[in-house]
Structures are given as structure tokens and as C-alpha cells.
Structure 1
Amino acid sequence: MAWLVLLGALLCMLRVGLGTPDSESFLPPAPHNCPYKCVCAADLLSCAGLGLQDVPAVLPAAAADLDLSHNALQSLRPGWLAPLSRLRNLRLGHNELAALGHGVFTNASGLRLLDLSSNALRALGRHDLDGLGALETLLLFNNRLAHLDEHAFHGVSTLSCLYLGYNELASFSFDHLHGLGVTHLHTLDLSFNRLGRISVPQLAALPAFLKNGLYLHNNPLPCDCRLYHLLQRWHQRGLSAVRDFAREYMCLAFKVSASRVRFFEHSRVFENCSAAPARGLERPEEQLHLQVGRSLRLHCNTSVPAVHTVWVSPQHELIVAPGSRDGSIVVLADGSLAIDNVQERHAGVFVCLATGPRLHHNQTHEYNVSVHFPRQEPEAFNTGFTTLLGCAVGLVLVLLYLFAPPCRGCCRCCCRCCRRPRAPSPLQELSAQSSVFSPTPPDALSRKASVHKHVVFLEPGRRGLNGRVQLAVAEDFDLCNRVGLRLKAGSESASSTSSEGLMMT
């Protein structure tokens, strides 16, 4: 017993010497340079919803996704993104930013997404977006933008999605969108603005991939005939930006906000519009139909030779020399596009964009390529085999008819079956009972009402048809002995009985 007490004392002393582990000692250490109250997880830094009025002074260099949304930021200092060389996504939505300023994004060369939505921006300057050479998505919706510098987007050469909806833009120029710097752009949202002036020729000159993603709904557009016919054509072609929001495309019949009408529901406003002025606005794309495995070559036809030529694939890939990323599409020295082995993925609209000093403006040329599999023709062997089999069967039937006539016993059996007496029908019994009160013989009524008729003489009518045979049926007609056929004629048609034909039923 003493040694057990000694062992317990030693264990207690050992436990006291080592100490009890605290729960906080198991928590991982805070990441290096993580701002107070922010969440840092690997390359993610989230400081959303903390009521921040300024950007934290120290930011971790490993951050690739920075979220500063839902705060009270009013300004951004130049060069504040210098430590974040790996930054790819920056979210600044739902703040109080009224302006950006020069040099705010000079150190964000790798940024792909920039969210500036739901702020208080009133204008976008010429150098506000400098340094965003790799930007692909720019969210500027739900601001107070009323002015955009014409060169504001010239530095974002890879921009593909631009959202400017829910602002106060009264006009928008598409001139800066014609350059080769924005050939990636396939989504342009201008909805819910104040666009009252818009250039219809500029709209018609846009490439097809941008027309499909150009949102103009919920704007006080003018009820212009050319604009009406242009939107009608886009709707008929099935462009999703027009088709999906057809009811929200409105125009002002007069210069009063209360005179808004829907483009596609109030055609009376455009009854006197002639389609002639709108025919030359859009150059229709060429329709090409190819089979899988064939070769294809597309030429960028322009009025004069172009200096630079690029193509845009149906998958919105910008194709320049030497060709596409997968190598299936090649751009030749003269600017034409070649595909040696056409596949289903090559179906869609190919757009050529050409530019040069002798061209008045950048020109586009569109090809709508349809790819289908070749039709399989039936094999000649199957057709010949079927014909041969049919001839053989026909020959066998002819031989059976010539050399194997039916036996007489079969015919006699058939005739005996026909001569079997049948039970009188209720209609025959009724006609027999009524023969007492009718001058017509009962056997005639029963013969007319019988369902086993074999020979019928037709009499269409007595009035005006003198000399026709009345309806008469011979129930006792013998199928094996057709000589004993008796004919019955009325008093008015007795003279013409022998001249009428016999109808077999």
C-alpha cells in the first residue's frame, strides 16, 4: 500500500512540474501583417463591413484577393497597392468614394477584377484607370457617373466586361470602343441611365460579339426610325441583350418623360417609318455551311489594305498571328484566317477587325459559320439485296399460281358452308308479322332488311329517273351456281332491267 501512495505522489509532482496546457496555446499564430479585425486566410484578405474610413496602413504581401467592401472609405491614396504584387481581385463596393485620382492603381498590373460599384463616383478621368493593363472585369454600376472621358478606357486593353448601369449618363460615345485595344470587350452594360442621345451608325458599326452583350434597356432613347429598325433586326437575330429585355426597351415619343412607349409593343408610333434609310447601316454577315473535317479560309475584306488585322473567334478569343491557343486556327501573312480541319467548336460568328491610316475608321467583317456532320447515304448492297429478294418472292408466287391451282374439294366445302341455313333475325320476324297489314310480300321485306347481301341493284330515285332498277337483293344466291340469279324490278323500271349493269358487293 505504501508504494502505491508513493507512486501517486510522484505523478502529482510531475503534473505540477509540467503545468496544465492552456487552450490559447493551441491557437495558430496570427498571420504576418494582418490588419486588426480583418480575416487573413492564405492569399485572402477580408476587411469587409468594419466601418473603415481609411485603408489599413499595413497589408500582407501574400494577398491575392482583397475585400474592402461595405465600409466608409472616401478616398484612396496613390501607390497604396505597391506591397500587393500578387493581387488579382479588388473589391471596393459599397463605400463612399467620390473620385479616384491619378496613380491610384499604378501598382496593380496583375489585377483581373475591380469592383467599384455602389459608391459616389461622379466622373471618370483620363488617367483614373492607368496601370490596369490586365484588367478583365470592371464594375462601375450604381454610382453617380455623369461624365466619362473619351480616353478613360484606353489603358485597359484586355477589358472584357464593363458594367456602367444605374448611373446618370446622358450620352455615351462608342468611338473609343472601335480601337484594337478593346477587342476583348463582349459585355457592355449601359442600362438604367439617362441616354437620350445615341449614335445609330456607331451602334451598327459595332462587332457582332459586342452587339450580343450591349444592354441599352431602361433608357429614354429617342423614338428614331433608324434606331427602331436596328433594334428590330437585333431582336429578330436573337441577340440576347435585346431579346431578354425586350419589354424594357423604351423611347420618348415627345420630349416629355410621360411619353415613354415600348419599342416592341407600340408599333403605331413607327407606322410611318421607312426601312430604306436603315438598310445600309448594318452589313449582314456572310453565311457559310461546312461539313466536319473540311478546310476553311476567311478573308478580311476591307475597302483598302489594312495595316493591322485581328480576328475574334465565337468563343471571344482574340486571334492574331500565328493563330489560336490550341493551334487549330492559323492567321496567315495576308491577314486571312485558315482552319485545316473544321470541328463543331468552330461554329459561330468570326469577326475580323482591320485598322490602318488609309481607313476612315476601323472596319469589321463577319462570317457566320455553321458546321454539320455529313449525311450517311444508304449502302448499295442493301438496296440490291432487297430488290433481288422481291423478285424471287414474286417468281415463286407466279409459279404457284400456274402449277398449283386450288383443289375442287376446297371450293365445294366453301359452297356448302355458304348454303347453311341461318337463324332468322329479329328484323325478319318483325317484317313477317307486319305482312298482314302491308300489300308488299313479307319475303321482299326480309330480303331488303337482311344483312347477308351479295348482289345489289341501285335505283337513285324515281322522280326524273324513269327506267332505273330498284334496290333488290337475292339472299338465296348460290356462290357456286351463278346462273340462277333472279332480278327484281319495279313496275316503272321493268323495261330497263336488262340494260343496267350488275354491281357486286
Structure 2
Amino acid sequence: MPGARGVAAPLMVSSLLLHLAGAGLPAGCLRVSDILSCSDLGLEQAPTWLPVTTATLDFNHNRLVRLEEDSFAGLPNLVTLRVAHNRLSSLAPGAFRNMSGLRHLDLSSNHLYKVDNHYFQELVGMEELLLFNNHIARVESNALIGLRGLRKAYLSHNRLTDFPFFSIQEHNHPFLVTLDLSSNRILKLPLEDISALPPSVQGGLFLHNNSLICECAMYGLFRTWEQKGFVSVCDYRADHTCLLYGEPRAAVQFLQHSRFFENCTVKALSLIGETVSSLQVYTGDSVLLECPSSLKGHQLTYQWVSPHQEYIVPPGNSNAMRMYGNGSLEIAAARVEDSGVYWCMVQDHRQSRNQTHEVNVTVVDRHHEVEPFNTGFTTLLGCVVSLVLVLVYLYLTPCRCWCRKPPPPPPATPSPAYECSGQPSILVPTPPATTEGPGRKVSNSKHVVFLEPIKEAQNGRLREAAMSDHARPHAPRGDSASFFSDSTSIVP
């Protein structure tokens, strides 16, 4: 039939072209449109020929040991490359040559030991870099500088002891919002370099589950991030630990047990260079927050970040908050929910400089302001009152025995002891108590249960019938320690 032949001819041609297009690929590779998957095939090296139209390439779960020079040079349209779960220990110079359009690179779960300067020099358009679950012990100072479009970098579950934070300043990485360094071996943090990072980077800097040594400056940094509501701290409070005196067996969850740092809070804020001012206002009042800066010029731009992580730029977000050209922020009618830390940043784009300023605003209800409660003074006052009551009880309580003469004894019997003896009073540190059970006395204050030994004996032994269950000793119980295990990297 002529019609049938006309339909079959294009199908045969397309099938032939598809066969020729995949003729150079390893057996088992799947190709759908611009997606090519050669995962879990036991490959020990990348194929020498790949379809030029490939945009997504998947080599996960193979046995690749090294990426050679120009391994993907013939793929100008490649956007996503996945080489996770292989045996890569190094990347040859020029392995990503002619791949400026690559946006997502996954090298996780390999055997990489360091990140050299030449690894990613050609990837100027890189947005997401996955390097977690390797053996990386060092990141060279210039390894990430060329990645100006980088938004997210994941290096958790490695062996890093430090990181070049100075190389990811805002003028080098203006779009960086996530840097995951959790579950490494970092001992100390370069606080000056970290505090110089823009808040967008600090808010996405994950440092939990490291080997940090406890110190005041470190504690103050994380407490400040917690007050700002940074997700990197608030979502992983229990996983932020530090080592007291550097002892590995003395790990402390410092965001949950802050008693070890009670004398550090004020000192820490000054060490990390925080300039936080405090302001208390009443509900309904108008508040004007200034944004002071030493930067001068007409190229300055201002922006505020509210406690709810809301960005505010001129002229403001609503009638409730107005922003002026000089950087001042006005809260028209303050509400209780407006309380928190307001952060202002001044940027000089010409010189690539910026400065920050913070204001801690506390909005108090005018009719329900709570007076501060001084616990130490109250405790001291309670002790003094208790002492006065004890003295009054000892020396001013009238005794009927001393105020009246006892009746004479009967003449026919020997003189017994008087009704009230002259024995000295025994001072008991607790008020008279009622007995609820053998050996258990409860004070009148109802706050403390006092236990006293049972004095009754039977044939030289304590009476077993009088022993209550709660009077017997119990074995101490220890709290089980919690340990965070990030089996998967945090990839929003």
C-alpha cells in the first residue's frame, strides 16, 4: 500500500539515526532527549564520545578513579553533571574545560582528599557544588574564587580542620546563600573573617557537629546568630557542640546548656565586633532607627532586614515601615510582634565595601509592662526573714512554765520532776513537721521533703517493717548522650 510505505519510511530513518547516535555509548546507557544516564554500569573511565546535545549527564555509582583533561570538552550545552558514588581521588587540570555553562556539579561520595585551585577555574557559571562525604582535608585559598555565580556549596562529612572564609567575601560571591561545613573537624573559627561575611552567607553557614573548642568568642558568635533567627543555628541547636578545654570526651551542647558560659556573654559580643544597640519603646509609639556608617559617597545603597527575615528597601514595605534615602527606618506604630534585632547594611558598589549596624528593639505594652525580677535580692531577703523568725521563736515565745509557780506536790509521795524541765531547747533547722510515713517528715513550706534516719530498733537491728520504698537507696541513672549523624547533606 503506498500510504503504509510513506509512514514506515520516516520511522525507519529515525530509528537508524537514533541507533547511530548511541553507537559510541557503553551498553546500558539510557538517553532521553537531552538527558543521558550511564549510572551503575561499572565504568572505570568516562566514554570518549558523548552526544553533543547532552544537557544532563549522570555517571553516578560507577568506578571512575580520575577525570582526565577535556573529559567533557565536547559538551557545550551541559548544565548538570553527576559523578557521585565513584572512586575519584583527583581531577586533572582542564577536566572541565569549555564547560562555562555548567550550573550543577555533584562530586559527592568519592575519595577526594583536597580541593586544588585548578579544579573549578573554568566553571564561572557554577551555581551548586556538591562535595560532601569525601575525604577532603584542605580547600586551597583560591579554589572557589572563580565561582562568582555560586549559590550553594556542600562540604559536610569531610575532614576539614579549617576553611578559607576570606575567599568567599561578597564581592567574590554575591549570590552565595548556603555553605555547609557541618560534620567536619574544625577546631577554631576565624571570627574576624566570618563576621565580615554578608548576613546572607552567615545565615546559611552550617557549622554544627564539628570539633570546636569552647571559648567565649565562639559562644557569642552562635548566640548572636540565634538571636537573629538564622536557620543554620535555630534548626540544629542540639547539634552545636564544643569541647571544654579541648577534651574530646567533654563535649557540651552549648546552645542548650549555657551555664558553662555565664561569664562570657558580654565579653563575646565585643570580641566578634558586634555593634548592637538596644532600644525599648511602648506599643503605638513611632520609632526611627538610624543606620550610621563611615562610608561616604553618592553610590551608597541601604537595606534593612527585620526580625522576621523580611528585606526592607526604600520607600519601605508598607505603611507600617517606611525607609528614607539616608537609610533610616521608621516604624509608624510599634507592636509587640515588631520586637527583635533589626539589621541594616550599607553598600558601596564602586569600592565593593559594606558596613552593618544592628538595633535590638523591644516593644513593651504600656499597660502590662513587667518589672524586672531580681532573684538574688529576693533570695537574700527570704533568708533574712527566716532568720528573724527563728530568733523570735527562740527568744520571744512565752513559756507558761516560767510565768507561774507550779502547784506543790502531794505530801505523801516523793517530789516528782516539775512539769517543765530546765533542759535546753534543741534548735531544729526545719519547722515542726507532720509525719506522713515511717522516717519521712514534710516541712510546712511544702517545697522540700526532709528525710531523717529511723531511730527505732528491734534486737539491735532497724525495723524492716518501717523501711519504706522511698527510703531505700536507688541506683543513679545517667542521661543518655545524643549524637547528631547527618547521613545526607542539607540540600534545600
SS of equivalent to 2:233 = helix
Give the aligned partner of residue 73 of structure 2. Answer: 82
Offset at residue 57 of structure 1 (A): 1.1
> Would you say 1:70 and 2:56 are equivalent positions?
no
Give the aligned partner of residue 228 of structure 2. Answer: 237
> Residues 366 and 68 (structure 1 numbering): CA distance in 2 closer, same or farther, change over 3 Å?
farther
- 2:66 partner amino acid: S
Offset at residue 73 of structure 1 (A): 0.4
Query: Which of 99, 124, 138 is residue 115 of structure 2 equivalent to?
Result: 124
Query: Which of 46, 50, 56 is residue 59 of structure 1 equivalent to?
Result: 50
> Residues 180 and 299 (structure 1 numbering): CA distance in 2 closer, same or farther, change over 3 Å?
farther
Give the aligned partner of residue 114 of structure 1. Answer: 105
> Residues 164 and 310 (structure 1 numbering): CA distance in 2 closer, same or farther, change over 3 Å?
farther
Question: Which 4+ residue blocks in structure 1 deviate beyond 6 angstroms?
Answer: 24-27, 298-301, 306-314, 334-338
Offset at residue 277 of structure 1 (A): 4.4
CA contact (8 A) 1:33 1:59 kept: no
Give the aligned partner of residue 214 of structure 1. Answer: 205
Offset at residue 269 of structure 1 (A): 1.6
> Would you say 1:282 and 2:274 are equivalent positions?
yes
Stretch deviating more after TM superposition (74-83 or 89-98): 74-83
2-structure distance, mates of 1:173, 1:285: 30
Offset at residue 160 of structure 1 (A): 0.4
2-structure distance, mates of 1:57, 1:259: 53
SS of equivalent to 1:275 = helix
Q: CA RMSD of the aligned region, Å?
A: 4.0
2-structure distance, mates of 1:309, 1:336: 10
Give the aligned partner of residue 319 of structure 2. Answer: none
2-structure distance, mates of 1:110, 1:219: 34
> Would you say 1:202 and 2:190 are equivalent positions?
no
| Structure 2 counterparts to residues 198-347 of structure 1, below 5 A | 198-279=189-270, 281-284=273-276, 302-305=293-296
Number of residue equivalences: 318
**Radius of gyration: which is bigger?**
1
1-structure distance, mates of 2:53, 2:141: 36
> Residues 279 and 67 (structure 1 numbering): CA distance in 2 closer, same or farther, change over 3 Å?
same
> Residues 286 and 364 (structure 1 numbering): CA distance in 2 closer, same or farther, change over 3 Å?
farther
- 1:276 partner amino acid: K
Offset at residue 259 of structure 1 (A): 1.1
CA contact (8 A) 1:253 1:269 kept: no
- 2:232 partner amino acid: A
TM-score by length of 2: 0.57
SS of equivalent to 1:90 = strand
> Would you say 1:151 and 2:142 are equivalent positions?
yes
> Residues 233 and 274 (structure 1 numbering): CA distance in 2 closer, same or farther, change over 3 Å?
closer
Give the aligned partner of residue 401 of structure 1. Answer: none
CA contact (8 A) 1:351 1:365 kept: yes
SS of equivalent to 1:258 = coil
2-structure distance, mates of 1:312, 1:187: 21
**Gap regions ≥5 residues in structure 1:** 1-13, 288-297, 319-333, 339-347, 371-505
Higher helix share: 1
SS of equivalent to 2:149 = coil
2-structure distance, mates of 1:152, 1:300: 35
Partner deviation per Cα, 1:240-285 (whole Å, 9 max, x = no partner): 1100000000001022211111112222321232513414622449
Query: Which of 21, 30, 34 is residue 33 of structure 1 equivalent to?
Result: 21
SS of equivalent to 2:197 = coil
Stretch deviating more after TM superposition (300-309 or 132-141): 300-309
CA contact (8 A) 1:101 1:125 kept: no
2-structure distance, mates of 1:267, 1:145: 32
- 2:61 partner amino acid: H
Give the aligned partner of residue 126 of structure 2. Answer: 135
> Residues 257 and 100 (structure 1 numbering): CA distance in 2 closer, same or farther, change over 3 Å?
same
2-structure distance, mates of 1:148, 1:218: 19
Give the aligned partner of residue 417 of structure 1. Answer: none
> Would you say 1:43 and 2:34 are equivalent positions?
yes
Offset at residue 236 of structure 1 (A): 2.2
1-structure distance, mates of 2:76, 2:328: 38
TM-score by length of 1: 0.55
SS of equivalent to 1:45 = strand
Offset at residue 102 of structure 1 (A): 1.6
> Residues 311 and 178 (structure 1 numbering): CA distance in 2 closer, same or farther, change over 3 Å?
farther
CA contact (8 A) 1:302 1:354 kept: no
2-structure distance, mates of 1:221, 1:104: 35
Give the aligned partner of residue 436 of structure 1. Answer: none
2-structure distance, mates of 1:193, 1:59: 37
**Gap regions ≥5 residues in structure 2:** 280-288, 312-324, 330-341, 362-492
Query: Which of 180, 191, 202 is residue 189 of structure 1 equivalent to?
Result: 180
Partner deviation per Cα, 1:347-405 (whole Å, 9 max, x = no partner): x9774444777x9xx4333689x9xxxxxxxxxxxxxxxxxxxxxxxxxxxxxxxxxxx
SS of equivalent to 1:71 = coil
> Residues 277 and 197 (structure 1 numbering): CA distance in 2 closer, same or farther, change over 3 Å?
closer
Offset at residue 101 of structure 1 (A): 2.8
> Residues 337 and 277 (structure 1 numbering): CA distance in 2 closer, same or farther, change over 3 Å?
closer
Partner deviation per Cα, 1:168-194 (whole Å, 9 max, x = no partner): 000122111114120110000000000
> Residues 129 and 299 (structure 1 numbering): CA distance in 2 closer, same or farther, change over 3 Å?
farther
SS of equivalent to 2:172 = helix
> Residues 207 and 95 (structure 1 numbering): CA distance in 2 closer, same or farther, change over 3 Å?
same
Offset at residue 210 of structure 1 (A): 1.3
SS of equivalent to 1:206 = coil
Offset at residue 304 of structure 1 (A): 4.3
- Identity across aligned pairs (percent)? 33
- 1:247 partner amino acid: A
2-structure distance, mates of 1:140, 1:99: 12
Give the aligned partner of residue 485 of structure 1. Answer: none
> Residues 50 and 175 (structure 1 numbering): CA distance in 2 closer, same or farther, change over 3 Å?
same
1-structure distance, mates of 2:111, 2:188: 24
2-structure distance, mates of 1:238, 1:171: 25
| Structure 2 counterparts to residues 83-102 of structure 1, below 5 A | 83-102=74-93
